Amino acid sequence: MRRVREILRLKHECGATDRAIARSLSIARSTVALTLERVAATGLRWPLPPTLTDRVLEAMLYAGHGSQQGARRKTEPDWTYVHHELRRPGVTLMLLWEEYRQREPGGYAYSRWCELYRAWEGRLSPTMRQAHPAGERMFVDYAGQTVDLIDGRTGEIRAAQIFVAAMGASNYTYAEASWTQTLPDWIGAHVRALAFMGGVPAQFVPDNPKVGVDRANWYEPGLNRTYLGLATHYGTAILPTRTRKPRDKAKVEVAVLVVERWILARLRNRRFFSLAELNQAIAELVVDLNARPMRRLGVSRRDLAGRAGRVAPRPPQHPRLPLLPLRRLDRADPPHTRPDAPARARRHGAFTELEANPQSADLAHAEWLGLLLDREATERYDRRLRARLRCATPGCITRLRSKTSITVPPAGSTGRCSRR
């Protein structure tokens, strides 16, 4: 308040102009003019009463001016609602701002409204923020932590792998246990995850596991045929992340951490003797996890998934055939007219042989798929051995006889190897 007193002294005793007062006190001329206006509005006269303290003078001059620190002069929008609405398809900041101005005609302008939302959003995740529209992506991965299962007959302990899937918009999480990370378990886990989610997303986002991606490439990834067949069957796409870029699938990385802390940690003192028993325990905790409110958003994953809306499920037309790596030949296109006719004929024979078996009707999808994969792997292994035997020495032929089911021709013969 010393400057206020000095402004009044220079003005009334010295007769200085506003510009001269501003130059003398090194302040703006508008500050001098505003101070004199406030003094005149309070009715004070120079000289000021000697009993008038600086605190009382400040209260008289600046009462009701300005706003409390941390408060806004205009009505603050519900940024949590805005954040949730942006995840719905087709919703933009412009649309939400227009709805806000209809409710608050004297509210913020569009530029300031966007600036305040970006500042609020910046407190949610500080690095690599991504936008996830509802139903667009499902992130999948295996957890690094495993669960021990005990064989009740032999006492053998086996490690069960934990598959985790998370939706991008709602963080809706699914988890299950499987014996391995091989292709049958990988495909079966996807099918059960889609059934749990209640719909099919537009994209699957895995990392680059060998079971699903043959060649890691951001522009043209080489996808496993069965995995690609799964995506084709459900009408979705597969978009693997970049190699060594875990932030590309941060949703499932966080989901894996949450599953390890909120599910596997609770099961650490329990003993399981079957995979079904473990999956039942995991399923109960998954329901509890999705019903638990998230700390920053204040809403549960289940409610957020219902609020954002899910993609309508597309049931498969053929529950088995489109997911098989070895497909039936098209009758309109004879096998001998195709460039890869021998290989396709062998695959058609394998499929027909398994389909003709009366016990195949009782097989689960993973078991059916595993038999075909084993058959294909055996054929590939035998073909590699035949190629080696064409150029092998007699001693090498003797060592290779016990490794294959191929009839080895005698030394010096030009005939081809045949299957027993």
Q: What is the pLDDT of residue 139?
A: 94
Strands 137-142 and 203-205: parallel
Q: What is the CATH class of 137-308?
A: alpha beta
String of DSSP letters for 20-75 = HHHHHHTS-HHHHHHHHHHHHHHT--SSPPTT--HHHHHHHHHTT-S--TT--SSP
What share of the chain in percent tops pLDDT 70? 69
Enclosing H/E stretch for 221: none
User: Phi and psi at residue 240, in whole multiples of 5°?
Assistant: -65, 150
3-state secondary structure at position 381: helix
pLDDT greater than 50 at residue 417: no
Give exposure, 47-69, as e/b (b: 16+ Cβ within 10 Å). eeeeeeeeeebeeebeeeeeeee
User: Phi and psi at residue 7, in whole multiples of 5°?
Assistant: -65, -45
Please say whether the beta carbons of 212 and 188 come within 8 A. no
Q: Where are the domains of the chain?
A: 2-62, 79-121, 137-308, 324-419
Which residue would you say has higher pLDDT here, 164 or 407? 164
Give exposure, 293-320, as e/b (b: 16+ Cβ within 10 Å). eeeebeebbbbbbebbebbeeeeeeeee
Q: What is the pLDDT of residue 334?
A: 42
pLDDT tens profile 59-89: 787 765 554 445 566 778 888 888 888 877 7
pLDDT greater than 50 at residue 328: no
201: preceding bond cis by omega (within 30 degrees): no
- Domain 2-62 in CATH 1.10.287? The answer is no
The residue among 374, 376, 386 whose CA lies nearest residue 419 is 386
pLDDT greater than 90 at residue 204: yes
The whole-chain average pLDDT of the chain stands at 77
Query: Which residues sit opposite 139 in a β-bridge?
Result: 166, 205
What is the Cα–Cα distance from 399 to 245, expressed in whole angstroms? Answer: 45
Q: What is the pLDDT of residue 38?
A: 84
Structure token pair of residue 72 = 């806004």
Which residue would you say has higher pLDDT here, 321 or 129? 129
What is the Cα–Cα distance from 11 to 20, expressed in whole angstroms? Answer: 10
Q: What is the pLDDT of residue 374?
A: 66
Please say whether the beta carbons of 397 and 391 come within 8 A. no
Q: What is the pLDDT of residue 335?
A: 40
Structure token pair of residue 2 = 């010393």
Q: What is the pLDDT of residue 337?
A: 44
Query: Cβ-count burial of 116 within 10 angstroms (0-12 exposed, 13-18 middle, 19+ buried)?
Result: middle
What is the Cα–Cα distance from 7 to 37, expressed in whole angstroms? Answer: 12
Q: Which residue shows structure tokens 């099919």? A: 200
Which are the contacts of 114, defined by CB distance < 8 A and separation ≥ 6?
A: 93, 97
What is the Cα–Cα distance from 385 to 117, expressed in whole angstroms? Answer: 64
Please say whether the beta carbons of 36 and 11 come within 8 A. yes
What is the Cα–Cα distance from 1 to 21, expressed in whole angstroms? Answer: 15
Q: What is the pLDDT of residue 304?
A: 79
What is the value of pTM for the model shown?
0.52
